[in-house]
């Protein structure tokens, strides 16, 4: 089959890797680098050369099973990373690092702050009580309602839960409050964030994420066209026609959309009602990422500095303000501290700025989470397949799982063997693609599709279902404070 892939993030690259041996691929990438949010920047300094990750940074040994299996297939070396989370509040002067007892009380004043003790009590109560919400099947409350109904204190909400969740999802603090509570709690539970001891080991790709990108795409690098944004996609009964900015239109048998949902919908010349509804349910927000060496956004006290550092400004900020300390995360030894800060860019010394990048993140509203379940209603119809981390929790494992699901559904497309993609009935999560159910038991029932796909050691995921599945969905991040 002649297949076009739109986008080279983890989802597009994984789809390419799985399908390249069996199909004639053309991969369109709007940007100048392969990898999307996997974006390593090389910086030359008088004291050395550093490969710094500005987007995707970490994964872990618990909730990234398919991504890690992929890296193992490719012999990509990983190194242990330290994950810790700090908060610095300009208004109250509070600083703490949840990674250790020393960090929690980096500021002696915290010992005598009743509000700090209240926050710690609420953290322990939340860790204990919140999982009960997962026992029911109903939709459950939004996070803000859950916190109010259960009388969680302001300190816990404003200095712990919302900063941590906003940092994890790079989301606006207000948006986090409107996220379904079950979604967040399930995620926290899967990632050991509701426990003091039961934490996964966090990992980074040695030498930066570029190392895995190179290996993942080595077999089809010549099929990737950089700086070639797709501007429209038209699906007819016998072909897909793709237009890019500067070249004549080209036709394909099928198209895999691996750009974000809003970008994908904007490309469709002929969206169906279902595509409009489902893709239109996902919202994305913009974050300015700045790579720099200005440490003023980090906590003032050394012991409070963590891998992830949340900054609460005196004026309520609309967007998340978080600084990743790359020296800690990537284990970089250098005489200066390399940081990536999301959003408070005006506070950074312009002379210390090495690079600015604009990223878009999915917003997980109730509507978006519901739309994830409807993936089978559009995937595989009209010669079109949809992948991207936004079909899950928004992290690398989700990107891989969505690509596996697409590869599996494509393998069931008769055109892959003989005929016409339009006769493909949609893949139903949990049925055909062998998706994971809510328990680990279901994993053993997830054979890779009989396809094409050289994914023997990977378990196919299915968007919609993977939300919180396998007790192990992806993501990256901060450890909960160790009270
Ligand atoms: C700052 C930051 C830190 C993060 N940290 C982590 C982390 O530590 N761990 C983790 O698991 N996740 C992390 N994430 C989440 C990350 O977004 C996901 O893990 C994942 O990389 C998203 O992959 P994707 O393939 O869905 O989308 P993307 O990586 O965004 O790829 C989509 C691609 O489509 C291309 N595209 C869009 N429109 C077109 C078009 N019209 N034509 C052609 N190409 C197009 C884009 O240029 C882009 O390359 C982080 C994200 C950011 C921004």
107 in a domain, yes or no?
no
Residue 222 lies in a domain: yes
Ligand 1 pocket mutation pick from 7, 258, 361 by most atoms within 8 angstroms of CB: 7
What is the distance in A from the centroid of ligand 1 to the CA of 113? Answer: 41
Q: Of all atoms in ligand 1, which is nearest to the CA of residue 229? A: 42
> Do the domain assignments include residue 333?
no
Q: Which residues of the chain have pLDDT under 50?
A: 417-457, 460-483
- Say how many Å lie between the CA of residue 203 and the centre of ligand 1: 19
Q: Whose CA is nearest to atom 4 of ligand 1?
A: 56
Distances (CA, A) of 25 to 1, 223, 279: 8, 6, 24
Burial, 427: exposed, middle or buried (Cβ in 10 Å; 0-12, 13-18, 19+)? buried
Residue 236 lies in a domain: yes
CA–centroid distance, 333 to ligand 1, in Å, is: 27
pLDDT at 109: 84
- 259 Cβ below 6 A of ligand 1: yes
Ligand 1 atom closest to Cα of residue 58? 8
Atom of ligand 1 nearest to the CA of 475: 11
Tell me, yes or no, whether 235 lies in a domain: yes
Instruction: Determine if ligand 1 sits within 6 Å of the CB of residue 364.
Output: no
Residues in the chain: 483
Residues 461, 405: Cα–Cα separation, whole Å: 5
427: three-class secondary structure by DSSP? coil
Ligand 1 contacts CB of residue 168 (under 6 A): no
The residue whose CA is least distant from atom 12 of ligand 1 is 395
User: Which residue's alpha carbon is nearest to atom 38 within ligand 1?
Assistant: 259
Residue nearest to atom 6 of ligand 1 (CA): 56
- Other Cβ atoms less than 10 A from the Cβ of 249: the count is 10
Say if 14 falls within a structural domain.
yes
Residue 10 alpha carbon to ligand 1 centre in Å = 7
Which ligand 1 atom sits closest to the C-alpha of 340?
1
Tell me what pLDDT residue 287 has. 92
Instruction: State the pLDDT at residue 416.
Output: 52
pLDDT at 459: 52
CATH of the domain at 21: 3.50.50.60
* Whole-number pLDDT of residue 199: 83
CA–CA gap between residue 376 and residue 254 (Å, rounded): 16
Q: Taking phi first (over 0 means left), then psi (-120 to 50 degrees means alpha), and beta for anything else, what does residue 415 get? A: alpha
Question: How many angstroms does the Cα of residue 378 sit away from the middle of ligand 1?
Answer: 21
Residue among 17, 55, 260 whose CB has most ligand 1 atoms within 8 A, to mutate: 55
pLDDT of amino acid 265: 98
Number of domains in the chain: 1
| Residue 216, ligand 1, Cβ within 6 A | no
Q: Is residue 81 domain-resident?
A: no
Write out the residue range of the structural domain in which residue 398 sits: 2-39+209-283+366-437
Which stretches within 105-142 are classed as H helix?
114-129
* 395 within some domain: yes
Q: How many CA atoms lie within 13 A of 199 on its CB side?
A: 18
């Amino acid at each position: 089959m002649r297949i076009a892939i739109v986008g080279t993030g983890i989802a597009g690259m994984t789809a390419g890797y799985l399908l390249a041996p069996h199909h004639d691929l053309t991969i369109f990438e709007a940007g100048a680098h392969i990898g999307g949010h996997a974006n390593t920047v090389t910086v030359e300094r008088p004291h050395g050369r550093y490969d710094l990750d500005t987007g995707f940074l970490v994964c872990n040994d618990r909730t990234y099973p398919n991504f890690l299996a992929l890296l193992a297939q490719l012999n990509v070396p990983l190194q242990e990373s330290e994950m810790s989370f700090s908060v610095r509040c300009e208004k109250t002067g509070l600083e703490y690092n949840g990674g250790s007892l020393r960090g929690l009380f980096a500021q002696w004043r915290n010992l005598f702050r009743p509000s700090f003790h209240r926050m710690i009590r609420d953290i322990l109560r939340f860790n204990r009580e919140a999982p009960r919400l997962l026992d029911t099947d109903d939709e459950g409350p939004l996070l803000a309602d859950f916190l109010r109904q259960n009388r969680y204190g302001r300190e816990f909400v404003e200095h712990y839960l919302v900063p941590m969740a906003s940092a994890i999802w790079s989301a606006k603090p207000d948006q986090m409050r409107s996220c379904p509570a079950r979604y967040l709690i399930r995620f926290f539970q899967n990632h050991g964030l509701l426990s003091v001891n039961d934490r996964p080991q966090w990992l980074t790709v040695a030498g930066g994420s570029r190392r895995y990108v190179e290996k993942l795409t080595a077999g089809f690098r010549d099929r990737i066209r950089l700086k070639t944004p797709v501007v429209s996609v038209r699906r007819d009964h016998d072909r897909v026609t793709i237009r890019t900015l500067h070249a004549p239109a080209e036709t394909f048998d099928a198209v895999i959309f691996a750009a974000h949902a809003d970008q994908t919908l904007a490309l469709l010349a002929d969206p169906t009602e279902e595509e409009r509804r489902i893709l239109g349910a996902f919202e994305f927000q913009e974050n300015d990422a700045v790579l720099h060496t200005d440490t003023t956004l980090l906590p003032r006290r050394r012991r409070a500095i963590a891998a992830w550092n949340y900054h609460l400004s005196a004026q309520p900020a609309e967007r998340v303000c978080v600084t990743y300390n790359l020296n800690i995360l990537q284990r970089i030894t250098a005489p200066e501290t390399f940081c990536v800060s999301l959003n408070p860019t005006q506070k950074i010394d312009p002379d210390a700025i090495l690079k600015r990048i604009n990223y878009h993140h999915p917003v997980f509203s109730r509507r978006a989470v519901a739309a994830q379940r409807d993936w089978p209603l559009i995937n595989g119809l009209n010669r079109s397949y949809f992948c991207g981390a936004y079909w899950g929790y928004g992290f690398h494992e989700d990107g891989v799982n969505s690509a596996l699901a697409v590869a599996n559904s494509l393998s069931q497309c008769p055109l892959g063997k003989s005929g016409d993609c339009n006769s493909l009935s949609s893949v139903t999560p949990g049925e055909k693609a062998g998706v994971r159910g809510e328990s680990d038991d279901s994993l053993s029932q997830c054979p890779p599709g009989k396809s094409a796909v050289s994914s023997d050691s990977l378990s196919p995921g299915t968007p919609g279902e993977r939300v919180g599945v396998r007790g192990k969905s992806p993501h990256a991040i901060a450890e909960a404070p160790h009270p």
